[in-house]
Amino acid sequence: RQLSASEMEQSRTDTSVQHKTQHALSQLADEISRGEPDARRWYPQILALAANKEPEFRLMSAWVMGQDNHSAEFHRKLKALLEDPQPMVRRNAALALVRFGDASGETELRFMLRPFTLVAPVAGTVSFKLKKSDEVPRGSVVARIRAEGSETVEVHSPVEGVFERRVVSDESRVASGETIAMLAPSEQQVWESLRALYLVGGAESLEDVQRIARNASGESERIRQQAELTVAAIRRRAGISEK
Residue-wise pLDDT for 16-32, tens only, equals 667 778 888 888 899 89
Q: Spell out a b/e string for 33-64, using b for 16 or more CB atoms within 10 Å of the CB, else e.
A: eeeeeebeebbebbbebbeeeebbbbbbbbbb
pLDDT above 60 for 191: yes
Residue-wise pLDDT for 38-81, tens only, equals 889 889 999 999 999 999 999 999 999 999 999 999 999 999 99
Q: How confident is the model at residue 241 (pLDDT cuts 50, 70, 90)?
A: confident
Average pLDDT of the segment spanning 202-224: 87
| Per-residue pLDDT, 1 | 62
Mean pLDDT of the chain: 91
| Per-residue pLDDT, 92 | 97
- Measure the CA–CA gap between 37 and 28, rounded to whole angstroms: 11
124, 99 in Cβ contact below 8 A? no
Threshold 0.75, pTM exceeds: yes
Residue-wise pLDDT for 99-145, tens only, equals 999 999 999 999 999 999 999 999 999 999 999 999 999 999 999 99
Distance (Å) of CA 180 to CA 19, 129, 143: 32, 12, 9
